[in-house]
Amino acid sequence: MQQMDDMDHTIKLSFMLDHLPEGGYTQMTDHRSDERYIKIINTAREVFSMLGYKATTVDRIAKSAGISKGAIYLFFETKEEILIAVMDNYIREMISNAEEAMNGEGTPTERLYHAIHACIVYRKNLCIVDKLLLEQGQFGTPVSQNALNKFSEATISSVQQLLDKAIAQQLIREQNTQVTAFALAHLYEALTSQWELSHEPLEDSVIFEMLRKVLM
């Protein structure tokens, strides 16, 4: 298959942020360099991961961050807005990981596989996702479900965009990228959380090889 020339140069995946689900990464972009904003987001990540959405309060985030509650309201009107910003922050990190993989070692096709793998496995160690899943199951909290949907849709959207780009560059065969992206995301979930209920955990290298075979 043809290998695109620009795969030999630094690749930016910021285009993947342009097609996130509605209500996605757009909020408070002018404040992302503000130290207070950064502290709020980093603290909120920890607090939501520990307590979930329902038990977290703006006051708890403020105290944990060592700032006033009023400072938080300079950036956010509600606790839900903070959670949205936190999930956007995770999505940016996921795409950054994919970008790093795309600029790593290997052939263009191998780097593509690693970038898709980076998107899919990013969720693995996110305590906040596990906490929101537990909370949603126990209480049916709509905000928690919306946050989970947002992250899942962003993951699938990101993988689909990588697949679309790869097909355009003739790196992989033609296929329905929306279906493939959905299947890959849920395949990983099945091979981790579901598989591990009654089996030894699979190595990421094994899962990566399965992903590669699906795309061959």
Contact call for residues 84 and 90 (beta carbons, < 8 A): no
Instruction: State the chain's maximal CA–CA distance in angstroms.
Output: 57
Residue 196 covered by a domain: yes
88 pLDDT exceeds 50?
yes
pLDDT value, residue 215? 84
Contact call for residues 159 and 188 (beta carbons, < 8 A): no
**Picking from 13-22, 45-54, 124-133, which range would have the lowest pLDDT averaged per residue?**
13-22
Residue 6 covered by a domain: no
26 pLDDT exceeds 90?
no
Domain count, the chain: 1
pLDDT single digits (tens) 5-16: 444 467 778 777
pLDDT single digits (tens) 149-170: 999 999 999 999 999 989 998 9
Domain that holds residue 45: 25-215
Q: Please state, rounded to an integer, the average pLDDT across all residues of the chain.
A: 87
Confidence of residue 193 (pLDDT cuts 50, 70, 90): confident
Residue 18 covered by a domain: no
Structure tokens of 11? 């690749």
Residue 117 covered by a domain: yes
Residue 138 covered by a domain: yes
Residue 58 covered by a domain: yes
Sign of CA dihedral 111, 204, 25, 96: negative
Structure tokens of 201? 């955990």
DSSP string, 144-210: HHHHHHHHHHHHHHHHHHHHHHHHHTTSS----HHHHHHHHHHHHHIIIIIGGGTSPPPPHHHHHHH
Residue 35 covered by a domain: yes
207 pLDDT exceeds 70?
yes
pTM to 2 decimals?
A: 0.86
Confidence of residue 17 (pLDDT cuts 50, 70, 90): confident
pLDDT single digits (tens) 100-140: 999 999 999 999 999 999 999 998 889 999 999 999 999 99
Q: Residue 93 belongs to a domain with what CATH number?
A: 1.10.357.10
Per 3-state DSSP, the chain is made up of helix, strand and coil in percentages (nearest 5) of 75, 0, 25
Residue 89 covered by a domain: yes
| DSSP character at residue 104 | S
Q: CA of 14: how far to CAs of 44, 73, 107, 152, 211, in Å?
A: 24, 29, 21, 18, 24
pLDDT value, residue 155? 93
